[in-house]
Amino acid sequence: MPSILSTKARRVLRYLNKYGFNNIKLTIYIMDKNSSLEEVVALEQYFIDTLKPNLNVDLIANGSGYHTPMSEEMKQKLRKERGIPIYIYDSTNLNLLYLFESKTDIINLIKIHHKTLNSCLLEGTLYLDHFLISLDLITESSNTNILSLEEIIELVNNKKKIYLKKHRAAKTIIAEFKGEPSKILEFPSLTSLANYLKGDKSTIRQYLKGEKLSFYRGVWKFTYKK
């Protein structure tokens, strides 16, 4: 995911950002589904010893290093199958902050728009320029102190205030409805306008720049407020 790569928080991510994927070979070793944790760790140690990987921070499987392995109890807690679990991380260090039990939960509890959520999940867009939202459990996360619901809501709300303050420089957009001079709407940003019209931002931007001269959808005219 682009948002994970852009953090450059881990040695392997710094490598991929610098050299790309052209010389990368991916091998997937499938173990028996009944394999024990000890067998998994033993196999990991075997590959560390034989391949001598130069991107591994910790050369001892299941040992200490930059990332302390998550306990099995915590992993089981995070794997509860109630809806489709949504994981929210701090993008600066990939620490897990909270587990929402479904898309409905995260939408209702932190008031994230469903289109914004889909963009985060499908394109790796960082929510509020800070949170990584994913369907995947990043097992390298060293954080086992998951926030309470009240704490994650408070943290998200504080980040929203910072985000809005940072983006206030966005130009106000005037939207005029054709044939109805009295119907003039103001939007603080292109995103808010696109959300209101359920339209594509890049297309609306073309009308704002004058690249498209007709009315948007045949009825809307857009200008920047002076």
Q: What is the pLDDT of residues 161-185, one digit of tens each?
A: 888 777 665 678 899 988 777 778 8
User: In whole angstroms, what is the distance from residue 107 CA to residue 123 CA?
Assistant: 18
Instruction: Name the residue type at position 88.
Output: I
Residue ranges per structural domain of the chain? 70-165, 173-224
pLDDT above 90 coverage of the chain, percent: 14
| pLDDT tens, residue by residue, 100-148 | 988 888 999 999 988 889 888 888 888 998 999 998 887 665 565 688 8
DSSP string, 79-106: T--SSS-EEEEETTTTEEEEEESSHHHH
Q: How much is the mean pLDDT over the chain?
A: 80
